[in-house]
Amino acid sequence: MTKPSDTLERLRARSIEAGRFVLPLDPIWADKVQAASNALRQLEAYGDREDPEFHRRLAEAKSELEELTANIEGETLTFKFRRLSRAAYDAVVSRNPATPAHIARAKEENGPRVTAPWNPDTFPIDLLNTVLIEPKMSVEELTEMLNGSDNPDEEPMLSKGEAESILAAAMNTALSVPPTLPKALGLP
């Protein structure tokens, strides 16, 4: 039988890195990885867990994404994330409260029982700033990466899907939960 002190020591010894997201810089590979990632997220979020084929399809989708990620040709950028304690996560949420306008929009889009858990304009950047281990980025760099430049003539650094995937990976790692949170992030 494991003693409580052994359990705590084993938990303390875990790697600080709890999750990662690999962004292919080649647009063809980026599209392939994005499609596989979206398929997996859809299955995890909306798949019928009672269906006997669900777990097989889930394993296949995970395997396909892992294989694509492992065999990416060309340059990539890997984002490494840490998990958060309940108190640390609550601190991020409390620093980014939803405004009355955000709450009203959430109710309008999702029904009267739904509320906005945080400010979707500030929470994603604060969350990434809190959980991102690598690459080291300033708040200004994170903001520009996710939101793009103020110059409308410049191409965005990330597509909407890439930005959403990075945020979903960060949130999933921070909370150590399955990636079923796009709606909670205010994402389609």
**pLDDT band of 188, cuts 50, 70, 90:** very low
> By C-alpha distance, which of 174, 167, 178, 160 is closest to 43?
178
Q: Identify how many contiguous H helices and E strands the chain contains and give both numbers.
A: 8, 3
CB atoms within 10 A of CB 165: 24
Is 182 in contact with 116 (CB distance < 8 Å)?
A: no
The answer to whether the predicted template modeling score (pTM) of the entire model surpasses 0.75 is no
**pLDDT band of 119, cuts 50, 70, 90:** very high
Backbone φ and ψ for 158, nearest 5 degrees, come out as -125, 145
Q: Where are the domains of the chain?
A: 17-175
Cis peptide before 4 (omega within 30 of 0): no
Distance CA 176, CA 128 (A): 15
Query: What's the pLDDT tens digit per position in 82-115?
Result: 988 888 999 999 999 999 998 898 888 888 887 8
Is 19 in contact with 167 (CB distance < 8 Å)?
A: no
Query: What's the pLDDT tens digit per position in 52-91?
Result: 888 898 889 889 988 888 887 678 888 999 988 888 999 9
Distance CA 141, CA 158 (A): 13
